[in-house]
Structure 1
């Protein structure tokens, strides 16, 4: 005669329910972590945009200064924002920068020139203080 072992009912229930609970909790935790990562990414994007706009406001303010050095610095910063890689500006903000650059360069008393260098970057300088 062959001996068989029987498991108590409570052990069968535990061995059935516990893995299902662990799998369910893991799925909930994974969904929550995915949401947290998305929120963190959105917050980081918002912070970068806020800092970029702060730089843009500063440069626009300095571009109207009376000092050639301040104007040159401001136009150089605006140019760097425009040509930054990876892009500091979000695509929807490019129009703002273009408008600021157009306003600064059209109303400037100084003639500002850009000279491309061998790496594709531009050197910006005040050519004539009209």
Structure 2
């Protein structure tokens, strides 16, 4: 049977009925020409694409928060070192009020949450050295807890 252009078909003929019903003489008009594996891939991609997008958003949020924490740590460290520098400058000027302010600043910094655990030993050693040298062992002991013992000199003396 030859294919008749649509404009020459008469209504009610066998070919018009087959086109309208979605079947042909062989009965295969309604069968999809897309292979099954492509359909499966399409369904999987339809389901996975939002899940992958959500995963990307979650990963981006995690990396952003991690970078923010690192930046916050860096800012705390910078502020700590600025305060340490200022306190040491005040102590080294030799003025009594400046020395007291510097020692108090170092002691307050040691109790502050601004001080990072990595910097604690440095600030503690600096506070002890500067306070003992400038203020004297007796005044430093008063600044410390009552049960703390001040030891002068190094291990080799």
What is the distance in 2 between the residues matched to 1:98 and 1:40? 28
How far 1:19 sits from its partner (Å)?
A: 3.4
Please show how residues 79-90 of structure 1 align to structure 2 within 5 Å. 79-84=107-112, 87-90=113-116
**Structure 1 residue runs of 4+, over 6 Å off?**
12-15
Where do 5+ consecutive residues of structure 2 fail to align? 1-29, 35-39, 146-157
Q: How many Å apart are 1:66 and its aligned residue? A: 2.2
Unpaired runs of at least 5, structure 1? 1-5, 117-130
Question: Is residue 114 from structure 1 mapped to residue 114 from structure 2 by the alignment?
Answer: no
Secondary structure, aligned partner of 2:45: helix
**Cα distance in 1, alignment partners of residues 81 and 41 from structure 2:** 60
How high is the TM-score relative to the length of structure 1? 0.68
User: Which residue number in structure 2 is paired with residue 48 of structure 1?
Assistant: 76
What TM-score comes out, normalization by structure 2 length?
0.58
Larger strand fraction of residues: 1
Larger Rg: 2
Instruction: Tell me what 2:10 maps to.
Output: none
Say whether 1:99 aligns with 2:128.
no
* CA displacement 1:65-120 (0-9 Å, x = unmatched): 22111111111101101122xx221222111112211221222156633287xxxx
